[in-house]
Amino acid sequence: MRPLVSGDCLAAHPADVRVVDVRWYLDGRSGAEAYRAGHIPGAVWLDVDTDLSAPATTADGRHPLPTPERFAAALGRVGIAAGDPVVAYDDTGGSTASRLWWMLHALGEPAAVLDGGLAAWPGELSTDVPDPAPVERAPRPWPADRFVTADEVARTRAAVYDARTAERFVHGAEIDPRPGHVPGALSAWWGDNLDGAGRLRAPDELRAKYAAAAGPGGIAYCGSGVTACLDLLAMHVAGIDDLALYPGSWSQWGADPARPAET
């Protein structure tokens, strides 16, 4: 399955995929309310905080990986069986939908992101909330080479990219535990992966942006391991392999005073 799906393609094949709304907002707005106000017909909603993450802790960060059991249960609850093709979308350029894409992609499951997000959908929106029959899913362990720890980031030879804004990369923000970034990391704001229409840039542009990852691969992180997945999607589209997410991200690294920070 290709990692990007156009709105026209999705509209032409509504019965061939499971559509998942992954809207979530850093400013505290409710993704669930946005979903109920209007979504792609047939789409279900998954919560970044509770379905795609374990509970936040200072030690693990704001969006730690959920246990395999928790993730399998969330997918099963909305009727997504193993092997079902999934198309995830949001209304922020893929910055949250790509979290679900990466989790499924890392497990070898067919998944894609709606290129351009909700704005790319050519049809009417629906307020009908589907009630799919739950299915049983066997938990599958997270591949160790696709999700790395803070210690592995500290000793890696791969290019490390920080998907936060350049301002947060240097100075931090109120939500960050302290200013700065992982030593040696490169600033790669997730928004720069998008063109003026809010779609992912062409592969050659993305290859140029992530040229440093063409060697031993690339690792992405952000504030909490969500928007970093859009950097991973961009690198994947650019043809770069050996990619990994640092789920703890700066909310874990920066909260540990024993770990160094560059500004």
Across residues 89-117, what is the average pLDDT?
A: 98
Please, which pLDDT band fits residue 44 given cuts at 50, 70 and 90?
A: very high
HSE toward the beta carbon, residue 257, CA cutoff 13 A:
0
Give residue 215's pLDDT. Answer: 84
Give residue 202's pLDDT. Answer: 98
Residues 200-219 have pLDDT tens digits of 999 999 999 999 998 889 99
Across residues 158-176, what is the average pLDDT?
A: 97
* Cα–Cα distances in angstroms (integers) from residue 199 to residues 17, 25, 37, 47, 149, in the given order: 20, 19, 23, 23, 30
Residues with catalytic roles: 222
Please, which pLDDT band fits residue 4 given cuts at 50, 70 and 90?
A: very high
Across residues 67-95, what is the average pLDDT?
A: 98
Are 188 and 164 in contact by the 8 Å Cβ rule? The answer is: no
* Model confidence, pTM: 0.98
Nearest to 246 by CA among 215, 218, 225: 225
Structural domains of the chain, with CATH:
4-120 (3.40.250.10), 150-253 (3.40.250.10)
